[in-house]
Amino acid sequence: MDFETIKIIQGYAYWFLTIVLVIALYSYIIHMYRSEKRGEKDYEKYGRLALDDELTQAPIDPHQKNIKREESK
């Protein structure tokens, strides 16, 4: 392969990867927005986690294994 051909392929690959990553980013943002509107997750709690983190605090979301064990007892 010629050096110019490799540069052209590299340029197209760069733009293709950039477009794919932008689509993935916007898809993730839309997913987060929709799940917060439906009430499935509250991302405000996760945003405050870094500021209000203490060892004595309760977990934000309980583990699913603990919930299933409590229901079966």
How is the chain split into domains, by residue range?
Answer: 1-38
Q: How far apart are alpha carbons 4 and 40 in whole angstroms?
A: 51
The residue type found at 44 is E
> Which tops the pLDDT comparison, 71 or 4?
4
Report pLDDT for 49: 78
- DSSP letter at 59? P
Interior angle at CA 33, CA 41 and CA 25, nearest 5: 115
Look at residue 67 and tell me whether its pLDDT is greater than 60: no
Report pLDDT for 47: 79
pLDDT, the chain, mean: 84
